[in-house]
A and B are shown apart, each in its own frame.
Chain A
Amino acid sequence: MTVAVAAAVADGVLPGRVWIYSNYHCNLACSYCLTDSAPGVAKRALTADRMVRVAEQAAELGFDAIGVTGGEPFLAPGMAGTLARIADILPTIALTNGTLFSGARLAALDALAGRDIALQISLDAADPDVNDEARGAENFAQVIDAIPKLVERGIRVRLATTVGDVAPHDAARLCALHRELGVADEDHVVRPIVHRGRAAERAIGVHATRDDLPAELTVTADGAYWSPFGPTVRDGRVDTDLLISRTTDPLAVPAELLLRAVEGRPPGTDTTLNIR
Protein backbone atom coordinates (compact mmCIF):
# COMPACT_ATOMS: atom_id res chain seq x y z
CA MET A 1 0.00 0.00 0.00
CA THR A 2 2.88 2.41 0.64
CA VAL A 3 3.81 1.89 -3.00
CA ALA A 4 0.31 3.16 -3.81
CA VAL A 5 0.99 6.35 -1.83
CA ALA A 6 4.23 6.97 -3.75
CA ALA A 7 2.45 6.36 -7.04
CA ALA A 8 -0.40 8.67 -6.03
CA VAL A 9 2.07 11.45 -5.24
CA ALA A 10 3.99 10.85 -8.47
CA ASP A 11 0.74 10.93 -10.45
CA GLY A 12 -0.52 14.05 -8.71
CA VAL A 13 -3.45 12.22 -7.11
CA LEU A 14 -2.06 13.15 -3.69
CA PRO A 15 -0.35 16.51 -3.16
CA GLY A 16 3.39 16.10 -2.55
CA ARG A 17 3.70 18.27 0.54
CA VAL A 18 3.28 17.00 4.09
CA TRP A 19 2.54 19.69 6.67
CA ILE A 20 3.74 19.59 10.25
CA TYR A 21 2.20 21.71 13.02
CA SER A 22 5.20 22.33 15.24
CA ASN A 23 3.14 24.03 17.98
CA TYR A 24 -0.01 26.06 18.45
CA HIS A 25 1.05 28.98 20.62
CA CYS A 26 2.01 32.33 19.16
CA ASN A 27 3.31 35.69 20.26
CA LEU A 28 0.54 37.30 18.19
CA ALA A 29 -3.24 36.88 18.23
CA CYS A 30 -4.43 37.76 14.73
CA SER A 31 -8.12 38.41 14.22
CA TYR A 32 -8.59 35.62 11.64
CA CYS A 33 -6.19 33.04 13.11
CA LEU A 34 -7.22 29.53 12.06
CA THR A 35 -5.68 27.97 15.13
CA ASP A 36 -7.01 30.54 17.61
CA SER A 37 -3.38 31.03 18.58
CA ALA A 38 -2.14 33.46 21.20
CA PRO A 39 0.60 33.48 23.84
CA GLY A 40 -1.30 31.55 26.50
CA VAL A 41 -2.99 28.78 24.50
CA ALA A 42 -2.21 25.06 24.78
CA LYS A 43 1.09 24.48 22.96
CA ARG A 44 0.25 21.11 21.39
CA ALA A 45 3.93 20.94 20.45
CA LEU A 46 5.81 18.23 18.59
CA THR A 47 9.42 17.61 19.56
CA ALA A 48 12.21 18.35 17.10
CA ASP A 49 12.95 14.64 16.71
CA ARG A 50 9.30 13.89 16.06
CA MET A 51 9.17 16.50 13.29
CA VAL A 52 12.32 15.14 11.69
CA ARG A 53 10.86 11.64 11.88
CA VAL A 54 7.73 12.82 10.06
CA ALA A 55 9.94 14.26 7.31
CA GLU A 56 11.96 11.03 7.07
CA GLN A 57 8.83 8.92 6.80
CA ALA A 58 7.28 11.35 4.30
CA ALA A 59 10.36 10.95 2.09
CA GLU A 60 10.23 7.17 2.43
CA LEU A 61 6.57 7.20 1.39
CA GLY A 62 7.31 9.24 -1.72
CA PHE A 63 6.16 12.69 -0.63
CA ASP A 64 8.38 15.41 -2.03
CA ALA A 65 8.09 18.48 0.22
CA ILE A 66 7.49 19.52 3.81
CA GLY A 67 5.68 22.51 5.27
CA VAL A 68 6.10 23.56 8.88
CA THR A 69 3.47 25.76 10.44
CA GLY A 70 1.83 26.64 13.74
CA GLY A 71 1.21 28.73 15.88
CA GLU A 72 4.52 30.46 15.52
CA PRO A 73 7.14 27.78 14.85
CA PHE A 74 10.04 29.96 15.96
CA LEU A 75 8.73 30.01 19.52
CA ALA A 76 9.89 26.37 19.73
CA PRO A 77 13.46 26.18 21.02
CA GLY A 78 16.07 25.37 18.38
CA MET A 79 13.61 25.71 15.48
CA ALA A 80 16.26 26.93 13.01
CA GLY A 81 18.33 23.79 13.63
CA THR A 82 15.23 21.59 13.36
CA LEU A 83 14.29 23.19 10.06
CA ALA A 84 17.83 22.66 8.76
CA ARG A 85 17.52 18.94 9.59
CA ILE A 86 14.12 18.76 7.88
CA ALA A 87 15.33 20.66 4.82
CA ASP A 88 18.18 18.16 4.45
CA ILE A 89 15.48 15.50 3.96
CA LEU A 90 12.98 17.30 1.71
CA PRO A 91 12.48 20.83 0.35
CA THR A 92 10.76 22.81 3.07
CA ILE A 93 8.58 25.84 3.58
CA ALA A 94 8.22 27.19 7.11
CA LEU A 95 5.43 29.64 7.90
CA THR A 96 6.30 32.37 10.36
CA ASN A 97 4.96 35.72 11.42
CA GLY A 98 8.48 37.11 11.05
CA THR A 99 8.43 39.08 14.28
CA LEU A 100 10.94 37.09 16.31
CA PHE A 101 14.09 37.49 14.21
CA SER A 102 16.54 39.33 16.40
CA GLY A 103 19.48 38.40 18.59
CA ALA A 104 20.22 34.69 18.94
CA ARG A 105 17.15 33.66 16.93
CA LEU A 106 18.32 35.72 13.98
CA ALA A 107 21.88 34.41 14.22
CA ALA A 108 20.62 30.83 14.34
CA LEU A 109 18.99 31.34 10.95
CA ASP A 110 22.45 31.11 9.38
CA ALA A 111 21.87 27.33 9.54
CA LEU A 112 19.24 27.78 6.82
CA ALA A 113 21.40 29.64 4.30
CA GLY A 114 22.09 27.53 1.24
CA ARG A 115 19.49 24.92 2.21
CA ASP A 116 16.34 24.13 0.26
CA ILE A 117 14.02 26.06 2.53
CA ALA A 118 11.87 29.14 2.29
CA LEU A 119 10.43 31.13 5.15
CA GLN A 120 6.92 32.27 4.36
CA ILE A 121 6.09 35.44 6.25
CA SER A 122 2.64 36.93 6.60
CA LEU A 123 1.97 40.49 5.52
CA ASP A 124 -1.58 41.44 4.73
CA ALA A 125 -1.46 44.97 3.34
CA ALA A 126 0.86 47.68 2.07
CA ASP A 127 -0.81 50.01 4.54
CA PRO A 128 0.56 49.52 8.09
CA ASP A 129 -2.75 50.44 9.70
CA VAL A 130 -4.69 47.90 7.66
CA ASN A 131 -2.12 45.18 8.28
CA ASP A 132 -1.78 45.91 11.98
CA GLU A 133 -5.52 46.00 12.57
CA ALA A 134 -5.65 42.26 11.90
CA ARG A 135 -2.17 41.22 13.00
CA GLY A 136 -1.40 43.52 15.91
CA ALA A 137 0.40 46.77 16.63
CA GLU A 138 3.87 47.18 15.11
CA ASN A 139 3.51 44.01 13.04
CA PHE A 140 4.02 45.81 9.72
CA ALA A 141 7.20 47.53 10.91
CA GLN A 142 8.63 44.31 12.37
CA VAL A 143 8.02 42.35 9.18
CA ILE A 144 9.44 45.08 6.95
CA ASP A 145 12.48 45.12 9.22
CA ALA A 146 12.92 41.33 9.19
CA ILE A 147 12.62 40.49 5.50
CA PRO A 148 15.81 42.22 4.27
CA LYS A 149 17.78 40.60 7.12
CA LEU A 150 16.70 37.18 5.92
CA VAL A 151 17.29 37.97 2.27
CA GLU A 152 20.78 39.24 3.14
CA ARG A 153 21.53 35.93 4.82
CA GLY A 154 20.72 34.06 1.64
CA ILE A 155 17.39 32.76 2.92
CA ARG A 156 14.52 32.56 0.47
CA VAL A 157 11.54 34.54 1.71
CA ARG A 158 7.97 34.10 0.57
CA LEU A 159 5.24 36.52 1.46
CA ALA A 160 1.71 35.37 2.30
CA THR A 161 -1.15 37.81 2.20
CA THR A 162 -4.36 36.72 3.85
CA VAL A 163 -7.23 38.97 2.93
CA GLY A 164 -10.95 39.21 3.04
CA ASP A 165 -10.89 41.36 -0.06
CA VAL A 166 -7.82 43.08 -1.58
CA ALA A 167 -8.66 46.15 -3.60
CA PRO A 168 -6.59 46.10 -6.83
CA HIS A 169 -4.85 49.35 -5.93
CA ASP A 170 -3.69 48.00 -2.60
CA ALA A 171 -2.58 44.75 -4.22
CA ALA A 172 -0.38 46.73 -6.61
CA ARG A 173 1.17 48.65 -3.70
CA LEU A 174 1.79 45.44 -1.83
CA CYS A 175 3.50 43.87 -4.83
CA ALA A 176 5.68 46.93 -5.32
CA LEU A 177 6.62 46.68 -1.66
CA HIS A 178 7.58 43.00 -1.72
CA ARG A 179 9.69 43.52 -4.85
CA GLU A 180 11.43 46.36 -3.07
CA LEU A 181 12.12 44.03 -0.14
CA GLY A 182 13.69 41.41 -2.40
CA VAL A 183 10.75 38.99 -2.60
CA ALA A 184 10.05 37.73 -6.12
CA ASP A 185 6.54 37.72 -7.63
CA GLU A 186 6.35 33.90 -7.59
CA ASP A 187 7.07 34.04 -3.87
CA HIS A 188 4.02 36.16 -3.06
CA VAL A 189 0.86 34.20 -2.33
CA VAL A 190 -2.53 35.77 -1.74
CA ARG A 191 -5.23 33.69 -0.13
CA PRO A 192 -8.62 34.30 1.44
CA ILE A 193 -9.46 34.28 5.12
CA VAL A 194 -11.00 30.87 5.76
CA HIS A 195 -14.06 30.63 7.98
CA ARG A 196 -12.54 28.34 10.57
CA GLY A 197 -10.89 28.88 13.95
CA ARG A 198 -11.01 32.43 15.25
CA ALA A 199 -12.32 33.65 11.89
CA ALA A 200 -15.39 31.46 12.41
CA GLU A 201 -15.80 32.77 15.96
CA ARG A 202 -15.83 36.27 14.46
CA ALA A 203 -18.05 35.27 11.54
CA ILE A 204 -15.53 36.25 8.84
CA GLY A 205 -13.93 34.43 5.93
CA VAL A 206 -15.00 32.08 3.16
CA HIS A 207 -16.59 28.75 3.97
CA ALA A 208 -14.33 25.95 2.78
CA THR A 209 -15.39 22.34 2.50
CA ARG A 210 -13.14 19.34 2.09
CA ASP A 211 -13.25 19.69 -1.67
CA ASP A 212 -12.04 23.30 -1.56
CA LEU A 213 -8.88 22.24 0.25
CA PRO A 214 -5.94 20.37 -1.28
CA ALA A 215 -5.58 16.98 0.40
CA GLU A 216 -2.21 17.80 1.91
CA LEU A 217 -1.44 15.35 4.70
CA THR A 218 -1.02 17.37 7.89
CA VAL A 219 0.51 16.08 11.10
CA THR A 220 -0.16 17.60 14.51
CA ALA A 221 0.20 16.54 18.12
CA ASP A 222 -3.50 15.56 17.97
CA GLY A 223 -3.43 13.45 14.82
CA ALA A 224 -3.30 13.61 11.05
CA TYR A 225 -5.64 15.79 9.00
CA TRP A 226 -6.78 16.49 5.46
CA SER A 227 -5.05 19.81 4.68
CA PRO A 228 -3.31 22.28 6.99
CA PHE A 229 -6.72 23.98 7.20
CA GLY A 230 -8.02 20.88 9.00
CA PRO A 231 -6.60 21.04 12.56
CA THR A 232 -8.11 24.41 13.30
CA VAL A 233 -9.12 25.45 16.81
CA ARG A 234 -12.39 26.92 17.94
CA ASP A 235 -13.15 27.72 21.57
CA GLY A 236 -10.09 25.74 22.62
CA ARG A 237 -11.20 22.58 20.79
CA VAL A 238 -9.29 21.22 17.80
CA ASP A 239 -11.78 20.58 15.00
CA THR A 240 -12.30 16.96 14.03
CA ASP A 241 -14.25 17.25 10.77
CA LEU A 242 -11.09 16.92 8.67
CA LEU A 243 -9.37 14.47 11.02
CA ILE A 244 -7.92 11.45 9.23
CA SER A 245 -6.43 9.47 12.10
CA ARG A 246 -4.96 9.88 15.57
CA THR A 247 -2.09 7.64 14.54
CA THR A 248 0.72 9.58 12.89
CA ASP A 249 3.63 7.15 13.39
CA PRO A 250 3.99 5.28 11.14
CA LEU A 251 2.98 8.00 8.72
CA ALA A 252 1.82 5.30 6.32
CA VAL A 253 -1.37 4.89 8.44
CA PRO A 254 -2.82 8.35 7.74
CA ALA A 255 -1.22 8.51 4.28
CA GLU A 256 -3.10 5.40 3.21
CA LEU A 257 -6.37 6.58 4.79
CA LEU A 258 -5.96 9.95 3.08
CA LEU A 259 -5.35 8.28 -0.26
CA ARG A 260 -8.46 6.16 0.20
CA ALA A 261 -10.47 9.31 0.93
CA VAL A 262 -9.04 11.10 -2.10
CA GLU A 263 -9.42 8.35 -4.67
CA GLY A 264 -12.21 8.98 -7.04
CA ARG A 265 -12.26 12.70 -6.42
CA PRO A 266 -12.01 14.59 -9.72
CA PRO A 267 -8.68 16.46 -10.10
CA GLY A 268 -8.61 20.24 -9.87
CA THR A 269 -11.63 20.52 -7.59
CA ASP A 270 -9.54 22.09 -4.85
CA THR A 271 -8.56 25.22 -6.71
CA THR A 272 -11.69 27.31 -6.83
CA LEU A 273 -11.07 29.26 -3.63
CA ASN A 274 -7.29 29.47 -4.15
CA ILE A 275 -6.74 28.13 -0.65
CA ARG A 276 -3.06 27.30 -0.64
Chain B
Amino acid sequence: MSRVELLGADDAPLVARRYYDEGDPGPIVAALAQVPEMLDSTLAFIGAVLGPSSIDGRTKELVILRTSAVSLCRYCVDSHSVVALDTGVVHDEVAALRNVEAAWTATFADPREAALLGWVDAVAGGRGPVSDESSARFKAEFADHEVVELTLLIAATLMLNRFCTALDLPTATAVLDRLRRERLA
Protein backbone atom coordinates (compact mmCIF):
# COMPACT_ATOMS: atom_id res chain seq x y z
CA MET B 1 0.00 0.00 0.00
CA SER B 2 1.09 3.54 -0.65
CA ARG B 3 3.28 5.23 1.96
CA VAL B 4 1.32 8.47 1.71
CA GLU B 5 -2.37 9.21 1.64
CA LEU B 6 -3.55 9.24 -1.97
CA LEU B 7 -6.20 11.93 -2.12
CA GLY B 8 -9.58 10.85 -3.42
CA ALA B 9 -12.01 13.11 -5.26
CA ASP B 10 -13.65 14.37 -2.05
CA ASP B 11 -10.33 15.45 -0.58
CA ALA B 12 -8.81 16.80 -3.79
CA PRO B 13 -7.58 20.37 -3.34
CA LEU B 14 -9.26 23.04 -5.45
CA VAL B 15 -6.47 23.39 -7.96
CA ALA B 16 -6.20 19.61 -8.32
CA ARG B 17 -9.88 18.96 -8.83
CA ARG B 18 -9.92 19.11 -12.60
CA TYR B 19 -7.60 16.09 -12.70
CA TYR B 20 -10.41 14.09 -11.08
CA ASP B 21 -13.10 15.17 -13.54
CA GLU B 22 -12.95 11.92 -15.47
CA GLY B 23 -12.64 9.61 -12.48
CA ASP B 24 -9.63 8.20 -10.65
CA PRO B 25 -6.59 10.10 -11.95
CA GLY B 26 -4.16 7.39 -10.81
CA PRO B 27 -1.79 7.27 -7.87
CA ILE B 28 0.84 9.69 -9.20
CA VAL B 29 -1.69 12.52 -9.43
CA ALA B 30 -3.42 11.44 -6.20
CA ALA B 31 -0.05 11.67 -4.39
CA LEU B 32 1.02 14.92 -6.04
CA ALA B 33 -2.34 16.44 -5.05
CA GLN B 34 -0.93 16.58 -1.52
CA VAL B 35 1.21 19.47 -2.78
CA PRO B 36 -1.20 21.03 -5.26
CA GLU B 37 1.09 23.82 -6.40
CA MET B 38 3.48 21.17 -7.78
CA LEU B 39 0.81 19.39 -9.78
CA ASP B 40 0.46 21.52 -12.91
CA SER B 41 4.17 22.05 -13.42
CA THR B 42 5.13 18.43 -12.70
CA LEU B 43 2.45 16.95 -14.94
CA ALA B 44 3.22 19.44 -17.69
CA PHE B 45 6.87 18.38 -17.52
CA ILE B 46 6.06 14.66 -17.47
CA GLY B 47 3.55 15.11 -20.29
CA ALA B 48 6.00 17.05 -22.43
CA VAL B 49 8.85 14.57 -21.96
CA LEU B 50 6.99 11.24 -21.88
CA GLY B 51 4.10 12.19 -24.16
CA PRO B 52 3.88 12.55 -27.94
CA SER B 53 6.79 14.46 -29.47
CA SER B 54 9.01 14.39 -32.56
CA ILE B 55 10.31 10.97 -31.46
CA ASP B 56 7.97 8.09 -32.25
CA GLY B 57 5.98 6.35 -29.53
CA ARG B 58 7.64 2.94 -29.90
CA THR B 59 11.11 4.40 -29.38
CA LYS B 60 9.96 6.32 -26.33
CA GLU B 61 8.27 3.31 -24.75
CA LEU B 62 11.40 1.19 -25.25
CA VAL B 63 13.30 3.84 -23.28
CA ILE B 64 10.69 4.24 -20.53
CA LEU B 65 10.15 0.51 -20.00
CA ARG B 66 13.85 -0.38 -20.05
CA THR B 67 14.80 2.51 -17.75
CA SER B 68 12.09 1.44 -15.31
CA ALA B 69 13.25 -2.18 -15.42
CA VAL B 70 16.89 -1.21 -14.79
CA SER B 71 15.88 0.91 -11.79
CA LEU B 72 13.63 -1.91 -10.53
CA CYS B 73 10.47 0.20 -10.39
CA ARG B 74 7.58 -2.25 -10.12
CA TYR B 75 4.92 0.42 -10.65
CA CYS B 76 6.46 1.90 -13.80
CA VAL B 77 7.51 -1.47 -15.28
CA ASP B 78 3.97 -2.83 -14.94
CA SER B 79 2.20 0.33 -16.09
CA HIS B 80 4.50 0.85 -19.06
CA SER B 81 4.44 -2.79 -20.11
CA VAL B 82 0.79 -2.18 -20.92
CA VAL B 83 1.48 1.16 -22.60
CA ALA B 84 4.28 -0.46 -24.63
CA LEU B 85 1.99 -3.29 -25.79
CA ASP B 86 -0.62 -0.72 -26.79
CA THR B 87 2.04 1.21 -28.70
CA GLY B 88 2.93 -1.84 -30.78
CA VAL B 89 5.89 -3.24 -28.87
CA VAL B 90 5.34 -7.01 -29.12
CA HIS B 91 5.08 -9.45 -26.22
CA ASP B 92 8.61 -10.89 -26.54
CA GLU B 93 10.14 -7.43 -26.73
CA VAL B 94 8.26 -6.33 -23.61
CA ALA B 95 9.39 -9.50 -21.83
CA ALA B 96 13.02 -8.86 -22.84
CA LEU B 97 12.95 -5.25 -21.71
CA ARG B 98 11.45 -6.25 -18.34
CA ASN B 99 14.11 -8.88 -17.73
CA VAL B 100 17.27 -7.36 -16.26
CA GLU B 101 18.85 -10.80 -15.69
CA ALA B 102 19.19 -11.72 -19.38
CA ALA B 103 20.54 -9.81 -22.38
CA TRP B 104 18.06 -8.16 -24.77
CA THR B 105 20.51 -8.36 -27.69
CA ALA B 106 18.86 -11.37 -29.32
CA THR B 107 15.47 -9.62 -29.33
CA PHE B 108 16.63 -6.19 -30.48
CA ALA B 109 18.86 -6.76 -33.49
CA ASP B 110 18.16 -3.43 -35.20
CA PRO B 111 21.40 -1.42 -34.78
CA ARG B 112 19.55 1.81 -34.00
CA GLU B 113 17.44 0.24 -31.24
CA ALA B 114 20.43 -1.70 -29.93
CA ALA B 115 22.45 1.51 -29.66
CA LEU B 116 19.54 3.18 -27.90
CA LEU B 117 19.08 0.36 -25.38
CA GLY B 118 22.82 0.26 -24.76
CA TRP B 119 22.63 3.97 -23.95
CA VAL B 120 19.65 3.40 -21.64
CA ASP B 121 21.46 0.65 -19.74
CA ALA B 122 24.58 2.80 -19.42
CA VAL B 123 22.73 5.92 -18.26
CA ALA B 124 20.04 4.35 -16.07
CA GLY B 125 22.12 1.49 -14.72
CA GLY B 126 25.38 3.29 -14.02
CA ARG B 127 26.74 5.87 -11.64
CA GLY B 128 29.20 8.62 -12.49
CA PRO B 129 30.43 9.26 -16.03
CA VAL B 130 28.83 7.38 -18.93
CA SER B 131 31.35 5.52 -21.11
CA ASP B 132 32.61 7.02 -24.38
CA GLU B 133 31.96 3.67 -26.01
CA SER B 134 28.19 3.63 -25.44
CA SER B 135 28.04 7.32 -26.28
CA ALA B 136 29.84 6.74 -29.57
CA ARG B 137 27.48 3.92 -30.55
CA PHE B 138 24.44 5.98 -29.59
CA LYS B 139 25.64 9.12 -31.37
CA ALA B 140 26.37 7.16 -34.51
CA GLU B 141 22.65 6.43 -34.80
CA PHE B 142 20.97 9.56 -33.44
CA ALA B 143 21.19 13.32 -34.08
CA ASP B 144 22.13 15.62 -31.23
CA HIS B 145 18.57 16.80 -30.64
CA GLU B 146 17.48 13.16 -30.36
CA VAL B 147 20.35 12.41 -27.99
CA VAL B 148 19.20 15.29 -25.80
CA GLU B 149 15.54 14.35 -25.86
CA LEU B 150 16.07 10.64 -25.29
CA THR B 151 18.53 11.30 -22.47
CA LEU B 152 16.01 13.68 -20.91
CA LEU B 153 13.43 10.90 -21.26
CA ILE B 154 15.69 8.48 -19.37
CA ALA B 155 16.30 11.09 -16.65
CA ALA B 156 12.61 11.97 -16.29
CA THR B 157 11.70 8.28 -16.15
CA LEU B 158 14.31 7.72 -13.43
CA MET B 159 12.76 10.56 -11.45
CA LEU B 160 9.35 8.93 -11.74
CA ASN B 161 10.80 5.50 -10.98
CA ARG B 162 12.25 6.66 -7.68
CA PHE B 163 9.13 8.65 -6.80
CA CYS B 164 6.78 5.72 -7.44
CA THR B 165 9.08 3.18 -5.80
CA ALA B 166 9.84 5.25 -2.70
CA LEU B 167 6.17 6.01 -2.13
CA ASP B 168 5.20 2.41 -2.98
CA LEU B 169 2.41 3.49 -5.31
CA PRO B 170 -0.09 0.71 -6.05
CA THR B 171 -0.40 -0.73 -9.55
CA ALA B 172 -3.91 -0.44 -10.99
CA THR B 173 -5.96 -3.64 -10.92
CA ALA B 174 -6.68 -3.28 -14.65
CA VAL B 175 -2.93 -3.25 -15.36
CA LEU B 176 -2.33 -6.36 -13.26
CA ASP B 177 -5.22 -8.17 -14.99
CA ARG B 178 -3.83 -7.30 -18.42
CA LEU B 179 -0.33 -8.45 -17.46
CA ARG B 180 -1.76 -11.75 -16.26
CA ARG B 181 -3.64 -12.20 -19.52
CA GLU B 182 -0.47 -11.41 -21.46
CA ARG B 183 1.51 -13.81 -19.23
CA LEU B 184 3.81 -10.99 -18.17
CA ALA B 185 2.86 -10.82 -14.49
Binding site for B on A (CB under 8 A): 210, 226, 239-247, 253-254, 257, 260-261
Contacts and interface: CB of A to CB of B under 8 A. Distances in A.
A244 B39 CA distance: 11
A244 B11 contact: no
30 contacts: A210-B14, A239-B11, A240-B7, A240-B13, A240-B33, A240-B34, A241-B10, A241-B11, A241-B13, A241-B14, A242-B13, A242-B14, A243-B13, A243-B36, A244-B13, A244-B14, A244-B36, A244-B37, A245-B15, A245-B35, A245-B36, A245-B37, A246-B34, A246-B35, A246-B37, A254-B37, A257-B15, A257-B36, A257-B37, A261-B14
Contacts of A246: 34-37
Contacts of A244: 13-15, 36-37
Contacts of B11: 239-241
A119 B35 CA distance: 33
Given A240-B7, A241-B10, A253 B37 contact: yes
Interface residues of B, number: 12
B151 to A, nearest CB: 30
Interface in B3-53: 7, 10-15, 33-37
Contacts of A253: 37
A246 B13 CA distance: 11
| Interface of A: prevailing SS | mixed
A46 B164 CA distance: 32
Contacts of A241: 10-14
A239 B11 CA distance: 7
Contacts, number: 41
Nearest to A237: B5
Interface of B: 7, 10-15, 33-37
A241 B10 CA distance: 7
Nearest to B13: A243
A163 B15 CA distance: 31
B13 A247 contact: no
Contacts of B10: 241
A253 B35 CA distance: 12
Nearest to A245: B37
Contacts of B14: 210, 226, 241-244, 261
A245 B16 CA distance: 10
Nearest to A226: B14
A194 to B, nearest CB: 16
A261 B12 CA distance: 14
Contacts of B34: 240, 246
A210 B17 CA distance: 12
B38 to A, nearest CB: 8
A64 to B, nearest CB: 23
B14 to A, nearest CB: 5
Nearest to B33: A240
Nearest to A243: B13
